Copies of this chain bind each other. A is one copy, B any other.
Amino acid sequence: MANKKITSRDVDFAKWYTDVVAEAHLASYSNVKGCIILEPYGYMIWEKIQSVMNDLLKKSGHQNVAMPMLIPENLMKKEGELINGFAPEVAWVTEGGQEKLDERMCIRPTSETLFSDYYATLVKSYRDLPVKYNQWCTVMRWEKETRPFLRGREFWWQEGHTIHATKEEAENEARFIMDNVYKKIFYDYFAIPAITGLKTEKEKFAGADYTLTIEALMYNGVSLQSGTSHYFGQRFSKAYDIKFLNKNNEWEYAYQTSWGASSRMIGALIMVHSDDDGLVLPPKIAPLQVVIIPIGNSDDVLNLASSYKDKLESAGISVSIDNSDKTPGFKFADSEVKGIPVRIEIGPRDLENNQVTLVRRDTKEKITINKDNDIVLEVNDLMDKIQSNLLDRATKRRDEMTYLAKDLDEVKKIMDTRPGFIKADWCGSMECEMKMKEIKGLKSRCILENEKPLTGKCVVCGNKADKLVVWGIQY
């Protein structure tokens, strides 16, 4: 009895995705090409993600700031690789206040340049370090093909920028963000078993010494790069003159990182967990965790609904009562399309037997409980089960879709059946990386840092290989 307005994900995954975005009222197309509108429910999810991430960042000593949205061309160009990387996709402001500008400015595609320019004025001594700032904003990249949440000209994100007195401390920061912020959020909140590792030289961020990445596998076997953390060494600090007096009273350039994750994460939540009835949200990230649906409007039913709501709210659970004038069937479907983890149905017939019904969104299972049970305990227990079931289910699927390949024939066979993560050894040459790309656009997702090569021979050229790489096609 799937939602009739939603195409089946096994029939047409791309259509299913845009149907879910539209029917759950997450986002809407705008008349500004390539830019979407975040609708209230989409924005609520984004606010919840912000709140979870802010918490982790503030506890680890990061502070929020806000930088200008425009970057003068000369400031943008000070570090050569960054501008080379972004020049093809920035938007330029050339007129302001009815006059042509002396120097054009781009709308930030990312803000390393602005932070670096600011940090150069902020820091004088090792005592001023580290500086660990983050900002929540939108950035603009002039993409040709766009898809809600996955790729857009304007998108929502956070970008952290830190400077440190030592290389070691900066490298630890880049890893801390990847392991203790991004990976933690993906596992513990999103219930998504994403993998992490190093980007290859070809795929790393323009200007970075190296890039750590978190990659998630979608239901259809396509990969989604979901967050990156970069170690810059002293490249930007030399270009922007960020230096400090170290403990030996000598001038030294600061060691720098940056890291970002975006509204793409909402795309991941949709494409990993959701189904033909709409969105499925893990309880820990759902802005609305419980909906209570009274059937009929007898006093008994309404009183119990409102007593449940009070109890759940006092326990910090986000809950609403749907007492609109729609039919119960409509309300059930609506709670499903929005992915609300737990639905409580209170009907007169159930009440006669002292019962109410809880419905899990992830499995649709109905659970009848005594109406006098501790509703907070029941709901918390059920939410724990949903949260861990979603992670288990996604892990099982990811593992089923993770393949090992020893040569190009095996790679091709895998890609002819169903895409996924392909683990294969790599010699490190860009030539071999490009050869892989000829197979349906396969790209290196990341180099696994804690796993040994399968055979020690490159999957493409057969030469010695000391890196185990996960390959996949990407959004």
Query: Please, how many angstroms separate the alpha-carbon atoms of A411 and B46 in the complex?
Result: 53
Q: Which residue of B lies closest to A97 (CB)?
A: B142
Q: Is A43 an interface residue (CB 8 A)?
A: yes
Do residues B69 and A154 form an inter-chain contact, with CB atoms below 8 A? yes
Do residues B66 and A114 form an inter-chain contact, with CB atoms below 8 A? no
Given contacts A30-B114, A97-B142, contact A65 B92 (CB under 8 A): no
Given contacts A88-B97, A96-B92, contact A156 B66 (CB under 8 A): yes
Given contacts A28-B118, A31-B75, contact A138 B94 (CB under 8 A): no
Q: Is A133 an interface residue (CB 8 A)?
A: yes
Do residues A65 and B87 form an inter-chain contact, with CB atoms below 8 A? no
**A34-42, A333-341, A388-396, A423-431 - the one binding chain B:** A34-42
Q: Is A367 an interface residue (CB 8 A)?
A: no
Do residues A37 and B64 form an inter-chain contact, with CB atoms below 8 A? no
Given contacts A118-B28, A144-B97, contact A39 B65 (CB under 8 A): yes
Q: Is A375 an interface residue (CB 8 A)?
A: no
Q: Is A382 an interface residue (CB 8 A)?
A: no
Q: Which residue from B30, B94, B95, B97 sits with its C-beta under 8 Å from A118?
A: B30
Q: Is A265 an interface residue (CB 8 A)?
A: no
A99-113 toward B: CB 8 Å interface, digit per residue (1/0)?
A: 000001101000000
Q: Is A68 an interface residue (CB 8 A)?
A: yes
Q: Which residue of B lies closest to A94 (CB)?
A: B94
Query: Please, how many angstroms separate the alpha-carbon atoms of A138 and B140 in the complex?
Result: 14
Query: Please, how many angstroms separate the alpha-carbon atoms of A422 and B151 in the complex?
Result: 55
Q: Is A32 an interface residue (CB 8 A)?
A: yes
Given contacts A37-B65, A65-B38, A70-B35, contact A94 B96 (CB under 8 A): no
Do residues A68 and B114 form an inter-chain contact, with CB atoms below 8 A? no
Query: Please, how many angstroms separate the alpha-carbon atoms of A239 and B87 in the complex?
Result: 38
Q: Is A89 an interface residue (CB 8 A)?
A: yes
Query: Please, how many angstroms separate the alpha-carbon atoms of A105 and B43 in the complex?
Result: 25
Given contacts A30-B67, A38-B65, A65-B38, contact A92 B91 (CB under 8 A): no
On chain B, the residues within 8 Å of A93 by CB distance are 91-94, 107
Do residues B65 and A43 form an inter-chain contact, with CB atoms below 8 A? yes
Q: Is A63 an interface residue (CB 8 A)?
A: yes
Q: How many subunits of this chain does the assembly comprise?
A: 2
Q: Is A47 an interface residue (CB 8 A)?
A: yes
Q: Name the interface residues of A28-78: CB closer than 8 Å to any CB of B.
A: 28, 30-32, 35-40, 43-44, 46-47, 63-72, 75
Given contacts A37-B65, A65-B38, A65-B40, contact A32 B96 (CB under 8 A): no
Distance in angstroms from A386 CB to nearest chain B CB is 26
Q: Is A353 an interface residue (CB 8 A)?
A: no
Do residues A63 and B40 form an inter-chain contact, with CB atoms below 8 A? yes
A173-213 toward B: CB 8 Å interface, digit per residue (1/0)?
A: 00000000000000000000000000000000000000000
Do residues A105 and B72 form an inter-chain contact, with CB atoms below 8 A? no
Do residues A68 and B144 form an inter-chain contact, with CB atoms below 8 A? no
Q: Is A159 an interface residue (CB 8 A)?
A: no
Q: Which residue from B31, B66, B138 sits with its C-beta under 8 Å from A37?
A: B66
On chain B, the residues within 8 Å of A105 by CB distance are 32
Do residues A67 and B98 form an inter-chain contact, with CB atoms below 8 A? no
Do residues A91 and B98 form an inter-chain contact, with CB atoms below 8 A? no
Do residues B95 and A66 form an inter-chain contact, with CB atoms below 8 A? no
Do residues A140 and B69 form an inter-chain contact, with CB atoms below 8 A? yes
Q: Is A117 an interface residue (CB 8 A)?
A: yes
Do residues B154 and A35 form an inter-chain contact, with CB atoms below 8 A? no
Q: Which residue of B lies closest to A38 (CB)?
A: B66
Query: Please, how many angstroms separate the alpha-carbon atoms of A105 and B39 in the complex?
Result: 22
Q: Which residue from B70, B98, B117, B142 sits with its C-beta under 8 Å from A96?
A: B142
On chain B, the residues within 8 Å of A96 by CB distance are 90-92, 142, 153
Q: Which residue from B35, B75, B97 sits with its C-beta under 8 Å from A89?
A: B97
Given contacts A35-B70, A68-B37, A118-B28, contact A91 B95 (CB under 8 A): yes
Given contacts A43-B64, A107-B107, A117-B31, contact A87 B91 (CB under 8 A): no
Q: List 15 A-B contacts (CB under 8 A).
A: A30-B118, A32-B68, A32-B72, A36-B68, A37-B66, A37-B118, A44-B64, A66-B156, A69-B69, A70-B154, A90-B97, A91-B96, A92-B96, A93-B94, A97-B142
Interface residues of A (CB under 8 A from B): 28, 30-32, 35-40, 43-44, 46-47, 63-72, 75, 87-98, 104-105, 107, 114, 117-118, 121-122, 133, 138, 140, 142, 144, 153-154, 156
